[in-house]
Amino acid sequence: MSSNKSYQADKFYINGKWVEPASLARIGVVNPATGEVFTSIAAGNATDIDRAVRAAKQAFPAFSRTTREQRVELLQRVYEIYERRKLEIAQVLIEECGFPRALAEGSQVGLGSGHLAKTIEVLKTFPFTELRGTTLVAREAAGVIGAITPWNWPINQIVCKIAPALAAGATLVLKPSELSPLNALIIAEIFDEAGVPPGVFNLVNGDGLNAGAALASHPDVDVISFTGSTRAGTAIAKAAADSVKRVHQELGGKSPFIILPNSNLRKAVTDGVLGSFLNVGQTCTAPTRLLVPREKLKEVEEIATEVANSQRVGLPTEEGVTLGPLISDAQKAKVQRLIKSGIDEGAKLLAGGLGAPEGLEQGYFVRPTVFSQVTSKHTIYHEEIFGPVQSIIAYDDVNHAIQIANDTPYGLAGYVHGNDLEQVRDVASQIRAGVIYLNSPQWDYGAPFGGYKTSGNGREYADFAIHDFTEIKGVVGYQV
């Protein structure tokens, strides 16, 4: 059990109160570093979801009429309390997700701060109304939002949905991943302390089959915002179809990292491999396909091997650890299966491979792995692995690189490295993906985030997210 827990794992936050669940069902929460259950949460069902949705629906008329200034003040209070509790959240993330301490206390909780600050900033000037001739174009809160969030960057995905939804004047029901539910309980405490009106924010824990499906299909939910696998996103879209609700999906990815012939090879390869290994590869935008000039393949292989072998896999609480465990036994089995397929199908194994790192047989640890000479005949060329596995793919010329980059059903992200900025920009314009990163830029909370093709639809972050949580109304004859 967590030694300093404050969260109420046996209850849900509905209509401004911590309430008892409808059933006694529980879900164990596993520490990925040990493989052992260390606590459990109440498992919500359709009855709990209905209660939360009804609270959100009842709160919507009043909250949607609050002023921009009132919502700015509310989110500012949330931000201040969040900052005070960041380290507490980080400790919970270490336990339930296995994030190394540096990652938990850095990017994992830091992204929450960044999204709150950016949402507050853009809300102050967001164009809720615009006069076009005699017609007023108004952006009004879309209604009740159902947010279903994942376990890999839990705080990022919770905050980048909740903050813009509330900024828009919408009300919300959150169903976080059952694999990482505890941080969300602290988020609920933060919103409660900040004085969010009853029913505006609600939280129900549970699995996808029961709580998630009930939320997606509920007729009084106006928008579903989901982040997760393409398979699950497809099921949610089908469940939502009967009530014709809007569905925003941020789904899987198989992102290319194109290294142009004139690149700084060592920096580009290092950035590509480290990007692929970030969060043990459990990142939807991970640049898992490293596309390199064929004539530089040998040099790239040497650098990539060196970078992979420099990574330290270990317990999340140990100093200097760069890679912790995967989230679950099922995820570990999937990654092992795909590594084995790479070996069996003849890809060139440069680093890592099957099995756990020495001394880390307990828990869900895997070896950071790099394959080279990967082609379209290999399973790892096509499937999203969601583990620390990098595939090096050789190309003949830049047009060939662009063809390979787009040779995927996914389209979430892309990366381009090169010393000729005009060429880098030109290549970026030809990659069919929702966000492209040029020469490893600084993170931008104001950039739109979302995918093409089976990577989803809709956009998150900043004003783009507020936009997607509004409906557009035309008031004709507003001005005469």
Which amino acid type is present at position 162? I
Which amino acid type is present at position 364? Y
CA distances from 420 to 251, 362, 372 (A): 32, 47, 26
Phi, psi angles (nearest 5°) of residue 57: -65, -40
Q: How far is residue 107's CA from residue 112's CA, in Å, rounded to a whole number?
A: 9
8 A C-beta contact, residue 464 and residue 240: no
Q: How far is residue 55's CA from residue 165's CA, in Å, rounded to a whole number?
A: 16
CA-wise closest residue to 315 among 112, 1, 104, 88 = 104
Phi-psi region of 7 (alpha: psi -120 to 50; beta: other; left: phi over 0): beta
* Paired tokens of 73: 């003040």
Among 88, 250, 301, 460, the active-site one is 250
Quick check: helix, strand or coil at residue 380? helix
Among 284, 301, 384, 460, the active-site one is 284
8 A C-beta contact, residue 448 and residue 463: no
Quick check: helix, strand or coil at residue 71? helix
8 A C-beta contact, residue 380 and residue 347: yes
Q: How far is residue 230's CA from residue 227's CA, in Å, rounded to a whole number?
A: 9
Q: How far is residue 244's CA from residue 469's CA, in Å, rounded to a whole number?
A: 15
Is residue 284 annotated as part of the catalytic site, yes or no?
yes
Phi-psi region of 229 (alpha: psi -120 to 50; beta: other; left: phi over 0): beta
Neighbours of 270 (CB within 10 A): 17
Residue 263 is given by DSSP the state: S
Long-range contacts of 129-137 (CB under 8 A, 24+ apart): 131/478, 131/479, 133/479, 134/476, 134/477, 134/478, 134/479, 134/480, 135/474, 135/475, 135/476, 135/477, 135/478, 136/474, 136/475, 136/478, 136/479, 137/472, 137/473, 137/474, 137/475
Burial 106-117 (b: 16+ CB within 10 A, else e): ebbbbbbbbbbb
* Paired tokens of 468: 């997607």
Residues belonging to the active site: 250, 284
